[in-house]
Structures are given as structure tokens and as C-alpha cells.
Amino acid sequence: MYKYDIIKRIEDFAPLETQEDWDCSGWVVNVGSYDNIDKVVLCLTVTNDVVRQAKEQNCDLIISHHPCFYIPLDWSGINIYCAHTNMDKAKGGTTDTIIGELGLSNYKINVEHDFLRMIKYRTTVDVFSKLLKQISPNARLINNNNVTELNKIAFCAGSGSEFLNEAKELGADCLVTGDLKFHTAIESPIIVYDIGHFESEILVLPVFEKIIGKDVKIVYADEHSPFNLI
């Protein structure tokens, strides 16, 4: 499959012009000698190890969610493309995959926000905690006010703690995100679940696969969160 046709499908779903000004989405490495793509590696983050995997499996293109702020040392001419904040903003993109994985898509409500997604869902903290543990066994809970019931829950994949106050203003009594800092947690006026950056975004890879279609072979990179329990 022609590589620009693959990228067009991604950009039709998540237009490149919708990325944030600071973002680095798009082509990281564009090598003309690999115009026809037979096999694609999907990953959350491009690392030297992911590039090694791509080479070992004779892949022509790597598609990642995270942008590359450096070019891997051993990229060796492999095409690399990323879709980051444009995929976060897209309908059915990064944050929506969390809601879908939890089986809560029918509870979604519309909010005018690029990154936050909201559901109206009446449940208890205990029940919702058990639900979240299905996708993030090491999720952490911040509940400064000892709330026991939830009615409106906001979601933001990745590092979304900066939207905590906006979630509250939108009426959320809970935010599900990753990468929560200590001072943000200790001062949070609403419940926050830190499910982990990796865990909150790795779910988007099947979305890339669906967008690309069956015209090329898809390989998932073997990657995991860098954090380990002790």
C-alpha cells in the first residue's frame, strides 16, 4: 500500500492541523525508498527497541501516538509517523478509547472541550474503582473529600491533570487521567484517578489499526510501562 494513502487515512480521522502548537505530530522520518508499505509497526512510543523490533520483522513504517522529540539512534531508514494531540482531540480517539473499553460509551455527553470527554453515570466509588482496575490494575485514587458516589465523570488520556479545574467547572465530580503530580493531587477538589500515562493511551493502538485497514500487515510493538512495582 502506498505510504501516503496510509497517512491520509490517519489524517482524515485526526487532521494534522488540529494538533497543538507545541506538538510534533506528523512525519518524523520520511524515506522515499519505502513508498510501498507491506508491514507497519504500531506503538505508543518510538524507542530504539521499537525500531529494532521493526527492523527484525521487516517493517517499512512505524506509526506511534507519542511524538519523537529525538530521532532514535538506530532508525536506519525506516519511515516514522506520529499522531499525538490531533488523535487526542479526534472523535473516537485516545480518550474515547478508555470510555469504550470500560463499556460506558452509551453514557457519553457532549462537552465543548478539545481534550476532556464526559459521561453521566451514577455509581459508587468502590464499584467504579473495580471497573477501572480492569484496564489499569495499579490505578491510584485521590479522594480528599471522602466522596462515596459518582454522577458525572470526566476522562482525559495521558497527562490531563492540567484540566482538573475545567473538569470541575463542567460539573464533573471525578476525573480519570494519568501522570498526576503530588501537589495537584493533594489540592484536588474532586476525585481523581491516576490510571497511568501508558495504561491510559496504549488502548488507542487498535484505533490506528482500524483506520489503516487490512491492506497492510499490522504488527504491535512489544512495549510496556517503564514503571514497575517493588
Indicate the range of 72-76, 145-149, 155-159, 171-175 predicted with least confidence. Answer: 72-76
- 40-88 pLDDT, tens per residue? 999 999 999 999 999 999 999 999 999 987 776 677 789 999 999 999 9
The DSSP call for residue 150 is E
The domain 91-200 belongs to what CATH superfamily? NIF3 (NGG1p interacting factor 3)-like (3.40.1390.30)
Q: Give the strand order in the sheet containing 140-142.
A: 108-109, 117-124, 149-159, 174-178, 191-194, 140-142
Which three three-digit cell numbers place residue 80? 516514522
Residue 68: per-residue pLDDT: 87
pLDDT of residue 33: 63
The mean predicted confidence, pLDDT, of the chain is 94
CA neighbor of 213 nearest in space, from 37, 44, 82: 37
Average pLDDT over residues 146-173: 97
pLDDT for 31 equals 86
Query: If you classify domain 3-87 with CATH, what class do you get?
Result: alpha beta
Angle at 20 between CA 19 and CA 22, to 5 degrees: 125
Domain boundaries, the chain: 3-87, 91-200
C-alpha cell at 100: 469504550
Does residue 153 surpass a pLDDT of 70?
yes
187-219, pLDDT tens digit by residue?
A: 999 999 999 999 999 999 999 999 999 999 999
Amino acid at 78: I
> Rounded to whole angstroms, how far apart are CA atoms 80 and 68?
9
CA distances from 213 to 39, 82, 199, 203, 223 (A): 12, 17, 24, 17, 22
More confident residue, 36 or 86: 86
pLDDT digits (tens, 9 = 90+) for 94-117: 999 999 999 999 999 999 999 999
User: So what's the pLDDT on residue 65?
Assistant: 98
Which amino acid would we find at residue 8? K
> Which helix (H) or strand (E) element contains residue 74?
none
Cα separation, 149 vs 174, in Å, equals 10
Please tell me if the domain spanning 3-87 has the same topology as the one spanning 91-200.
Answer: yes
Residue 152, all three cell numbers: 458525572
The mean per-residue pLDDT over the stretch 139-160 comes to 97
pLDDT value at 34 more than 70: no
